[in-house]
Amino acid sequence: MKITSPLAWTILAVACFLAAGCDTPPAAPKANTPDHVNALTVRPNDDEEVRGAMALETARVAYQNRLEVLRSYYERVGDADKYQAAGRELKTLRQAQVFRYQDLPEILPPERESLENADERLLVEYVIQARNAYLAAVDRLLTTYDKEGNTYRLEFVRSIKKRFDPIRTYLYFPTAEIPGSNLRPTEVIREADEMYARALKLFWDGKGLLHTFVTTDYQKERQALLLFMDLIQKYPTSNKIALSAYYIGDIYKEYFNEDTRAVTWYERAWQWDPRITEPARFQAGTVYDLRLHNPEKAVECYNGAIKYEQFNQSNVSYARRRIKELTGQ
């Protein structure tokens, strides 16, 4: 579409302004000069900075290398979902640190493992270790600059923390990332209820006034997601865990295109509470149907919605129609 009307350009500009919460990282800090700074010179007489910068760059190179190897492994074995996940995590790393330290010795990546008969679990473990080492190196430099009172350099390292997206990091095995199906929401826990209320408010506030991508505040949706997860981890018997799982699935589906994660969390919602009053089965069905193109699982979820989610007749009608279309019956 070619935009020629001045009014159309104005509308587009307003839309872009309203979309300031888009799923993009914060801007990198800039120098006191107009020029964008993408490199910092290590001060050779500052031993603590030299050690910290070396640790950061060594960890970054290793982390990137481990991710590239893992992504190559998934490409080799044909696992498209995990290949995409590794690519997203790699992008997260690259967008997080937009500057490099100058005047450091050459840093070589670790020797790459052969992908012939490679052990996936070992490759994933290497990635997680490298990720943790990188984030620890960031924290050490933050402490160094904060102790010095060097606010200029502190902002550069702090920008890594702001731009690094925890939503785009993975454990690569659903059973490691998501609690099992055996949890049960059996207790009323005040602290959990308070966390749930805060997370739910962030979830709705994140949608904005129009409840469309134009007004979405992705940072609030991230905060809601992490708070729902924290609730489940800290209070696994709370009567809010199933609802939290449902909203985690919703956030992954609606805002971050994490479809495989979304359907697993929806599934946990109804596994933990078969009588949940949110349309978890229906939502999983639409993801399997329209995004993951898995008609068998879609029909299974739609049938579950028809049986257990009669509280939403519009969804039930749609589920019946899609089952007919998908099965020809």
pLDDT in tens, 164-178: 999 999 999 988 999
Enumerate the β-bridge partners of residue 41.
Answer: 102
pLDDT, residue 17, reads: 38
Closest CA to 110 of 72, 56, 65, 60: 65
22 or 317: which carries more pLDDT confidence?
Answer: 317
Q: Is residue 95 one of the residues assigned to a domain?
A: yes
**pLDDT score of 262 more than 90:** yes
Average pLDDT value for the chain: 89
Give mean pLDDT, residues 216-242: 96
Mean pLDDT of the 305-328 span: 97
Identify whether residues 313 and 196 lie together within a single domain: yes
Name the CA dihedral angle for 235, 241, 244, 245, rounded to a multiple of 10 degrees: 120
Q: What's the average model confidence in pLDDT over 255-264? A: 95
Mean pLDDT of 313-323: 98
Give domain status of residue 318, yes or no. yes
Q: Is residue 20 part of a domain?
A: no
Q: Say whether both 60 and 80 belong to one domain.
A: yes
Q: Among 2-6, 139-143, 315-319, whose mean pLDDT is lowest?
A: 2-6
Q: Is 265 exposed, middle or buried (0-12, 13-18, 19+ CB in 10 A)?
A: buried
CATH of the domain at 304: 1.25.40.10
* Amino acid 325: pLDDT: 97
306 touches 312 (CB < 8 A): no
When comparing pLDDT for 26 and 86, which is higher?
A: 86
pLDDT of residue 108: 86
Residue 19: the pLDDT is 40
Worst-scoring range by mean pLDDT, 19-33, 67-81, 256-270? 19-33
With 0-12 / 13-18 / 19 or more C-beta atoms within 10 angstroms meaning exposed / middle / buried, residue 142 is middle
Query: Model-level pTM?
Result: 0.83
Determine the 3-state secondary structure of 109 from DSSP.
coil
In which band, very low, low, confident or very high, does the pLDDT at 252 lie, cut at 50, 70 and 90?
very high
Q: What percentage of residues in the chain have a pLDDT greater than 70?
A: 88
Task: Tell me how many domains the chain contains.
Answer: 2
Start-end of H helices in 20-164: 47-77, 80-96, 120-148, 151-163
Task: Let me know whether 107 and 206 are in one domain.
Answer: no
Cα–Cα distance list, 22 to 165, 198, 251, 255, 272 (Å): 13, 22, 14, 10, 33
**pLDDT tens string 67-82:** 999 999 999 999 999 9
Residues 190 and 144 in one domain: no
Determine the average pLDDT of the residues in 134-144: 97
Residue after which a domain boundary falls, among 172, 204, 235: 172
**SS3 assignment, position 295:** helix
Query: What confidence tier does 224 reach under pLDDT thresholds 50, 70, 90?
Result: very high
Q: How confident is the model at residue 57, as a pLDDT?
A: 95
Residues 98 and 160 in one domain: yes
The last residue of one of the domains, among 148, 172, 196, is 172
Say if residue 3's pLDDT is above 70. Answer: no
Query: What pLDDT band is residue 2 in, cutting at 50, 70 and 90?
Result: very low
Residues 182 and 307 both lie in one domain:
yes
Beta bridge partners, 102, equal 41
Structure confidence at residue 83 (pLDDT): 97
Amino acid 21: pLDDT: 46
Domain interval for residue 87: 27-172
Would you say 21 and 218 are in contact if contact means Cβ atoms under 8 Å apart?
yes
